[in-house]
Amino acid sequence: MTPVEYAGSYVPLRGVEMSAAMSSTLDISFDIRGGLLMRQIHHWAALLFVAAIGLHMLRVFFTGAFRKPRELNWAIGFVLFVLAMAEGFTGYSLPDDLLSGNGLRIIDGMLNAVPVVGTWITFLLFGGEFPGNDIVGRLYTLHILLLPAMVLIFIVLHLMFVVIHKHTQYPGPGKTEQNVVGYPVLPVYAAKAGGFFFLVFGVVALIAATVTINPIWNYGPYDPSPVSAGTQPDWYIGFADGALRLMPPGLETVWLGYTWSWNILIPMLVLVVFLLLAFIYPYVEAWVTGDKREHHLLDRPRNAPVRTAIGAAGVTFYAVLWAGASSDIIATHFKVTMEGVINTLQALLILGPVIAFMITKRVCLALQKKDREMVLHGFETGRIVRLPGGEFVEVHEQLDEYTRWQLVSFNDNAPLQLKPNPLGKITASARFRVAMSRFFFEDRIAPVSTKEYQAALEHSSH
C-alpha cells in the first residue's frame, strides 16, 4: 500500500507515516459522521456471523439433521463456515494496523513451514518478502469480491436444498417422516423470520453504538518490530492460534537437508484433520448404520448417545484450543503461571475430549433410562393418599399419550453381528464396520414397545 502521512482528525497519530489502508480506516472512523458506527456494526456483525454459523452447525449435528437426504447440505454449510472464517480474517487484516499485521506475520510464518512449496507460496502471496506492499490490496479483492461471491453461491445452494428437502422437524405427536408440520411461509413465518432479522440487526447496532471494537488507533500502524502484550485474534481464529501455542518446545528437524517445522506442521495438520472429520461425519455415520432411509424427524440428542458424545468431545477439543489462544490473558487475570496454564491446557487437549465423551454418553444413557421409567411407571404426582389400611402412598400417574409418544418414538439402531459374506468370508472392512457399529450402538437403550407397556400397566394394577 502507498505510504502516507496521516493528517486526519485523530490527533495522537497526526504526522505518523502509515499505509493508505490504515489512514483511510482512520478517516472512516474519525472524519465521517457515522463512520465509526458502521465500522463497529460491520465488525460486531462479523463476529456474530461466525458465532451464529457455529451454533447452527452444533444444532444440526446434535439433532442428526445432517442425515439422509441432507448430507450434501451439511458439506455445503461446512464450506460456508470456512468461507465465513476466511471472510473474517481477510477483513480483519485490511486496516493494516499493528494487530492485524502481526496476524499476517503469523500466517506468513505458518505458510513458510509448508514442506517444499511453503517459501514460494508466501513469497507469491505477499508479492515478495514479508510484509511487502501487495498483501492488503490482494486481501481486499478477496474480501469484497471473490469470497463474498463464493458465500453467495453456497448460500443459494444451501437454501435451494432447504426448499427441495423442506425443513426437518422435531419429533412429536402428529409429526411423521412423511409430513412437515408448521406455519406456512406466508404470512406467519415471514413475519417472524423478518422480525428476527431486525432484532438481530438492532442488537448489533446497540452493541456497536456502545461498545468499542478493534480500536486500531490504539494499536497504531503496522511495524514489524513492536507488538502489544495480550495479542488476540478475532474469536473464530482463536482455535488455530491456540493450536500453535500448545505445541511443546523443540519440534523441528532437518531431514534430507531441508527444514521440517513440526511445531507448525503438527498444529496445521491437527486443525485440518479436525475440520475434515467434521466435514465427513455424516458420511461416516451413514456408512456405520448403512441406513439409506430419509430422516426428516430429528433426534433428541439423548437418543443418539455416541453421536452426542462425539459432538461433546469435539466441542471440548475446540474449546481447549480456543482457551489456548488466551493462555497469557488467563495467566495474568487469574495470577497463575503461564507455563502452568499452558501445561494444563496441553493435558486437557488430550484428556478433555475423552472425559467429555464418557460423561456425555453416560448422561445420555441415563436420560434414556429415565424416559423409559417415565413411560413404564408414570410420574410422581406429589399427591399423597392415605389408603384404608392407614398406609400413605404417593399417587403415580401415567403420561398422556402425547408426552408418551415424545418419549417412545425415536430412531433406534442395534450393533451389527459379524457374519460371513455370501462367499463365506469375513473381510477386514466388514470387521472394521462391525467394530464401528459396536462402538456406536453397543450400549443401547431400546424404546419402550407396546408389549412392555402393557406388561407394566398390568403389573402396576395388581
CB 440 within 8 A of CB 434: no
Decide if residue 105 touches another protein (CB under 8 A): yes
Q: Output the nine-digit C-alpha cell for 350.
A: 488430550
Q: Which residue among 148, 156, 215, 290 contacts another protein (CB under 8 A)?
A: 290
Q: Which is nearer to another protein, 54 or 69 (CB)?
A: 69
Q: Is 369 helix (H, G, I), strand (E, B) or coil?
A: helix
Question: CA torsion sign, 190 to 191 to 193 to 194?
Answer: positive
- Cα-based torsion angle of the residue sequence 41, 42, 48, 52 in order, rounded to the nearest 10 degrees: 130
Decide if residue 422 touches another protein (CB under 8 A): no
Q: Which residue among 84, 113, 321, 445 contacts another protein (CB under 8 A)?
A: 113
Q: Which is nearer to another protein, 81 or 219 (CB)?
A: 219
Q: Output the nine-digit C-alpha cell for 451.
A: 408389549
Decide if residue 269 touches another protein (CB under 8 A): no
**Neighbouring residues of 415: CB distance < 8 A, sequence distance ≥ 6:** 434, 437, 438, 440, 441, 442, 444
Query: Which region among 5-13, 53-61, 315-323, 358-366 touches another protein (by CB under 8 A)?
Result: 5-13
Q: What is the DSSP annotation of 134-165?
A: THHHHHHHIIIIIHHHHHHHHHHHHHHHHHHH
* Range 327-366, binding another protein (CB under 8 A): 327-328, 338-339, 342
Decide if residue 110 touches another protein (CB under 8 A): yes
Burial of 421 (0-12, 13-18, 19+ CB in 10 A): exposed
CB 131 within 8 A of CB 138: no
Q: Which is nearer to another protein, 58 or 350 (CB)?
A: 350
Q: Work out how close the CB of 282 gets to another protein at its nearest, in angstroms, rounded to a whole number.
A: 14
* Range 150-179, binding another protein (CB under 8 A): 164-166, 173-179
Q: Which residue among 42, 49, 57, 69 contacts another protein (CB under 8 A)?
A: 69
Q: Work out how close the CB of 239 gets to another protein at its nearest, in angstroms, rounded to a whole number.
A: 14
Q: Which is nearer to another protein, 207 or 359 (CB)?
A: 207
Q: Which is nearer to another protein, 48 or 359 (CB)?
A: 48
Omega prior to 420 cis, within 30 of 0:
no
- Amino acid (one-letter) located at 54: G
* Max CA pair span of the chain: 97
CA–CA distance, 26 with 218 (Å, rounded to integer)? 11
Q: Work out how close the CB of 85 gets to another protein at its nearest, in angstroms, rounded to a whole number.
A: 18
Site string for another protein, 377-416 (x = CB under 8 A): ------------------------xx-xx--xx-xxxxxx
* Range 117-146, binding another protein (CB under 8 A): 117-120, 122-134
Q: Which residue among 289, 303, 326, 368 contacts another protein (CB under 8 A)?
A: 289
Q: Which residue among 74, 154, 322, 441 contacts another protein (CB under 8 A)?
A: 441
**Neighbouring residues of 268: CB distance < 8 A, sequence distance ≥ 6:** 110, 113, 114, 243
Q: Work out how close the CB of 418 gets to another protein at its nearest, in angstroms, rounded to a whole number.
A: 11
Decide if residue 429 touches another protein (CB under 8 A): no
